[in-house]
Structure 1
């Protein structure tokens, strides 16, 4: 195969163009929705209440996305690419409609859960189909293109959310997703084939593993609603036990959720998934940044949304920059991520709580910290994902593709749940307003430094030459 067909141009040949655009558009829809919601959440809470449930908007969305991710292979097998994507699109639209009409926070959370299910299908099927529709030489660039849609979302999502939030019309931000999603459905109908050439064989669902994953996230989130520290720590302890049970189940059950030996400490897949999880958990603190920007730094919803989006911009830039790297450079990219994330959280720790009386220093430090936060994750991300596909056994390739989004979604939800726990316990709901928010910001970024510190250990396991399988 020529160099042109192995490079970026290869994704947009006549054979690949339709698939590349559709798969990336599905993730763009998912990501744009995420940034719309992050931007409008402070306005939603101000309108219908529910500050204690703030993080649950993301947590429930991502828990449902995990379910959609896990069910994606079955949906593809049963319906084929076109009908599977159209089904996911319809579910996503239903969730957006519920959010648009929600009179209270519980109804909004229901809509977010439905949205998450449809979004999880879209997200997982995009990754799962990479190894079905592209040659292996194009996998890193296809992964980078799909993930780069988060960068596109940074331009669109905060603008939509910010404008409607400033107009006190946050419902219209959800309503706008309805015609946009309908346009995506038309693209799916025109671009994707009705059937795969070699449909995957559907296997029974790993129901218990899915239940354990969801329960681990929800017990942490439930604990975060309490003002008593022992309840919060009990939730984290229970979640740890559920994860250990999940690990045991993966070794003993006839049906697995993850590729074979993915949770074995001697497997390179375990190191890959652990590093991915720690990086995603480290980014979980991002959920509260718009709130802190508005309540501690006096930013408008629009500006707060765009400042927060600096993290996704950093992710996109670093991922596009490093996607073509191979060998030692690829390993160096993976290795550099955790130290850069540690530096980013240090910047946010200094700038966001507004302890130092220098406004220009605050915003500069916040922008730098957020940019580095995304840069740290994106730098090695396409290589981590590619290694997952390469390290998986031949019969587990499709399971590995779906597992990428399951693990990413689980870690993102757990990061958000832990952020909610820290923020609520640190006093973000306190009556003293800005002082409580500042205290919560300090402890949030201080404690979240644990994630990149642990990733600095796990990444050494990933980048050992014996562990890295070259394409």
Structure 2
């Protein structure tokens, strides 16, 4: 589609961005609203499944959509994805039980797994490698914008309207996106002599389910050394071996393994995996520090956290335009990730006396670094393969980054909990009377630091003679959380440093310029 006129490309890109924003904002809007939804539906024990079900189905569909869109074209998968996502969102708003919500979120995940990789692959169809930098930067910024808008709207809705509108408010945008894709996106003929790799798809799905469930449940639902978790990881290892065996014999493999022989393709996915792990140190745990250590409210915390996202959005756009202008990307990727390393390391030095404006500076550094660096790796993967494998290459980068994020949640969560436990056990509590120690032991829960209302309610009910001990316990909790978060940020910076060093192994392959445009009737 590179030969299309500029006007035709712009109308199509509007349709693509509309579809992508529809999927992205419906992911981010749920976070702030979910506590209220769980309060109404019940089922707090299944809280994590609302996210896990979405993650599992979207990860599985990502690779499937990449390969099938290479065979059948992007348009059918855009339309199916938007349709499935819209149905899932509508049904989620009708949920009467937590089980129904989990099922309907899984349906949404199928739609998202079709829409998002297809959107990035479609940019590759429309523009030459050198032009893609600009547009993929804009596409990446869509996720950043949605992560700012989504939680804000979600919080407003649950405070002022029924929570079902969290899922319904953007349904008109889904309809608009569907119509735009249907009317504007060109259809292509099915590629001949290509078969669908059903067996490879099934084995890949089973492997991803085992791996992601093991990472999601480990340390939360089950102990890491429990039979369930070890069994899931064993199943994932067996699945990988079986997948390699199946793919090496498939006529048209769902994920062609020969692509990993291209060093740029292999390293871009490996870096994406590492970045997925490290990013969670800078993004997921900032609210813990703001609310638990500095004592800010959730609203104040959200405004401060927003600065990282804004930095990421601005840097993604800037970095993409810079690639298009210069045709260079290796130095940009290296610089971006090293800036992120510095920002995460500086975060590891924070304590209760850290000024919020200093923290904003650190966040901007991390956000800007991720923004200008992350834009590169999808482009590198796409530029490593022929046009026939564009969808597969794009889907692979999304999948490895997603798996990295899941690993990051699991590993960094374990580091946080273990560090806090060890720090709390190191305090000398021998001076606390036994009767007081039994009462105060109930308050050694780090989650208390994030719920200021509950903390105040507990303090108001304690007898005056226990208040000094209570305040000392809270101080210990804050000190332990600071220590644990320092370890989380430090580990994130180390993982990001590995990713930055891996960029030296990427070759600077020249990016081809744009193809001649189609002439309009007027010409």
| TM-score of the superposed pair, with normalisation by structure 2 | 0.73
Q: Please report how far the alpha carbon of residue 367 of structure 1 lies from its aligned counterpart in structure 2 after TM superposition.
A: 3.0
Q: Is the partner of 1:121 in helix, strand or coil? A: helix
Q: Give structure 1 stretches of 5+ with no counterpart.
A: 1-5
Match for residue 125 of structure 1? 118
CA distance in 1, matches of 2:297, 2:35: 11
CA RMSD of aligned residues (A): 3.8
Which of 136, 146, 154 is 1:143 aligned to? 136
Q: Distance in 2 between matches of 1:104 and 1:287?
A: 28
Matched, 1:196 2:188: yes
Q: Which of 81, 85, 94 is residue 92 of structure 1 equivalent to?
A: 85
Distance 2:410 2:69 in 1: 30
In structure 2, do the counterparts of structure 1 residues 34 and 204 end up closer, same or farther at CA, with 3 Å as the change threshold? Answer: same
Greater mean deviation of Cα atoms: 90-99 or 433-442: 433-442
Report 1:74-89 matches (<5 A): 76=69, 81-89=74-82
Structure 1 position 125, deviation (Å): 0.9
8 Å contact from structure 1 (residues 73, 202) kept in 2: no
Q: 1:112 to 1:308 in 2, by over 3 A?
A: farther
CA distance in 2, matches of 1:98, 1:304: 32
CA distance in 2, matches of 1:54, 1:287: 17
CA drift at 1:197: 5.3
The yes-or-no answer on 1:310 pairing with 2:307 is yes
Q: How many angstroms does 1:81 deviate by?
A: 4.5
- Render the CA deviation track for 1:209-257: whole Å, top value 9, x for unaligned: 3322332121111213247454499589658846863784487342544
Deviation at 1:278, TM superposition (A): 1.0
Query: Residue 309 of structure 2 aligns to a residue in which SS?
Result: helix
Decide which structure has the larger Cα Rg and report it: 2
Q: Residues 200-349 of structure 1 correspond to what in structure 2 (within 5 A)?
A: 201=194, 203-205=196-198, 206-207=200-201, 208-226=203-221, 228=223, 230-231=225-226, 234=230, 238=234, 241=237, 245=241, 248-249=244-245, 252-254=248-250, 255-264=252-261, 267-285=263-281, 286-290=283-287, 293-294=290-291, 297=294, 299-326=296-323, 330-349=329-348
- Contiguous gaps of at least 5 residues in structure 2: 422-442, 450-476, 513-523
Q: Cα distance, 1:54 vs. partner?
A: 5.7
Matches within 5 A, 1:410-429: 410-423=403-416
Partners of 1:46 and 1:299 lie apart in 2 by 24
Distance 1:385 1:56 in 2: 29
Does residue 438 of structure 1 match 2:481?
yes
Equivalent residues of 1:290, 1:305 under 8 A apart:
yes
Check whether the contact 1:74–1:202 (CA below 8 A) recurs between aligned residues.
no
When the two structures are superposed, what TM-score results if normalisation uses the length of structure 1? 0.81
Deviations 1:329-364 (A, max 9, x none): 52111112332222232344344xxx4145xx1x33
Work out the CA distance in 1 between the residues paired with 2:50 and 2:392.
Answer: 28
Q: 1:55-74, CA deviations, whole angstroms, 9 ceiling, x for partnerless residues?
A: 55444323221222222246
Task: Please state whether the residue corresponding to 2:29 is helix, strand or coil.
Answer: helix
Over 3 Å counting, the alpha-carbon distance change for 1:397 and 1:180 in structure 2 is: closer
Deviation (angstroms), 1:165: 4.2
Shift of 1:154: 4.0
Aligned to 1:172, which of 141, 146, 165?
165
TM-superposed deviation, 1:275 = 0.8
Take 1:347 and 1:209, find their aligned partners in 2: how far apart are those partners? Answer: 39
Structure 1: how far apart are the matches of 2:304 and 2:47? 19
> Which residue in the other structure is 1:3 paired with?
none
2:28 is the alignment partner of 1:35: yes
The superposition leaves residues 143-173 of structure 1 with CA deviations (integer Å, 9 ceiling, x where unpaired) of 2222221233244213212312444854422
The alignment of Structure 1 onto Structure 2 pairs a total of residues equal to 452
Q: Which moved more, 1:242-251 or 1:171-180?
A: 242-251
CA distance in 1, matches of 2:295, 2:374: 34
Contact 1:227 1:425 survives alignment (8 Å): no
3-state SS, counterpart of residue 169 of structure 2: helix
Cα offset, 1:452, TM superposition: 0.6
2:501 aligned partner:
457
CA displacement 1:292-324 (0-9 Å, x = unmatched) = 645555555554444434333222221221223
- Say which is worse superposed, 69-78 or 111-120, in terms of deviation: 69-78
Give the conservation status (yes or no) of the 8 Å contact 1:52–1:225: no
| Contact 2:63/2:255 (8 A) holds in 1 | no
